Amino acid sequence: MPRTELYPVIEPHESGHLQVTQPHSIYWEECGNPDGVPVLFLHGGPGAGFSPGHRRFFDPAFYRIVLVDQRGAGRSKPYAEIQDNDTQSLIGDLEALRIFLEVDQWLLFGGSWGSSLALAYAEAHPASCSGLILRGIFLCRKQEVDWFMNGMRQFFPAAWDDFMAHLTTAERVDPLNAYYRRLCDPDPAVHMPAAAAWSRYEASCSTLIPSPSTIEAMSSPETSLALSRLEAHYFVNNLFLREGQLLEEASRLRGLPGIIVQGRYDVVCPPSSAWELSKAWPEAELIIVPDAGHSAAEDGTMRALVTATERFKNRLSVPKSSKPARTG
């Protein structure tokens, strides 16, 4: 039986900042086996950053685990920066990191926006990928952004009311742009309350069973500004992708193995997108978790993701001659 529990806590053995362009320097780290099969963890948001717990989805004896904070997120610098922060730049950053770390191919592991970025990267650089494990599919279409801003009220009316209560009556006509203006305001007295309200809304809708710890973590000052500002920045700019692009270009994934893990009751990223992606990408196996929402921390989703990384161990072989990472 494949393992379903998270692996024990581990620490990175290499880490650093990679200067990708002015003003951006992205933080990366490596854990696990330096000579193992490379896997790249892509966090959500954009802007959420990765946490130490994300290292635990992977067998550290088998995988060379690479984690990266995308532009403006986590420990990347400058924090919550929207200048020159767009999807094509993030794709370029990942390819620059792959070359810097001397990785031939890596397995991509991403959820929510991380699934979007994994798809965008793999469609641009299929030869750099050995496969994809995706969760909570977000295809960056207008209908999905509209659902986030307004549709989730159908399931979480109280959370949506709280979200709108932060805005004036006039601002509620166009809440996305109203929040974006507030989140980009240089005054912390303006942008920090807006960040907390946005992040509380998203966190409140992210789990099947209410999770106060999830809400507290996502709406904390350390997390909420980058998460909310960058999400709003990408949303108002149509995720810097052509409408329907990720689904239309799924043919570029042909030949790449994939596993899609989707919560049956995911309200943030409804299962219809995962279903459409699986139809456009026959090599991908769609796994519906019957008792989960959007969060990767929910028990059923967590077990399915660990099982997926275990199953990929039978598909991927350890590189014959690996090259150790360099600090940066």
Q: Of 112, 116, 128, 219, which residue is the catalytic one?
A: 112
pLDDT at 325 over 50: no
Give me the domain span that covers residue 211: 143-238
Q: Of 266, 273, 278, 295, which residue is the catalytic one?
A: 266
Does residue 112 have an active-site annotation?
A: yes
325 is a domain residue? no
Assign residue 91 the CATH number of its domain. Answer: 3.40.50.1820
Q: Of 54, 224, 294, 295, which residue is the catalytic one?
A: 294
Quote the pLDDT of residue 79.
97
Quote the pLDDT of residue 142.
98
Do 220 and 234 fall into the same domain? Answer: yes
Could you tell me the pTM of the whole model?
Answer: 0.95
**Domain end call among 238, 256, 287:** 238
Does residue 162 have an active-site annotation?
A: no
Indicate the number of domains in the chain.
Answer: 2
Quote the pLDDT of residue 221.
87
Strand intervals (E) in the chain:
14-21, 24-32, 37-42, 63-68, 106-111, 129-135, 258-263, 284-289
How many CB atoms neighbour CB 208 within 10 A?
20
Q: Using pLDDT thresholds of 50, 70 and 90, give the confidence band for residue 327.
A: very low
Residue with the two structure tokens 């507290």: 216
Does residue 266 have an active-site annotation?
A: yes
Do 218 and 291 fall into the same domain? Answer: no
Q: Give the 3-state secondary structure of residue 312.
A: helix
326 is a domain residue? no
Longest dimension (CA), the chain: 62
Residue with the two structure tokens 């969760």: 135
Q: How far apart are CA 121 and CA 61, in angstroms?
A: 26
Do 131 and 275 fall into the same domain? Answer: yes
pLDDT at 324 over 50: no
pLDDT at 219 over 90: no
Quote the pLDDT of residue 102.
98
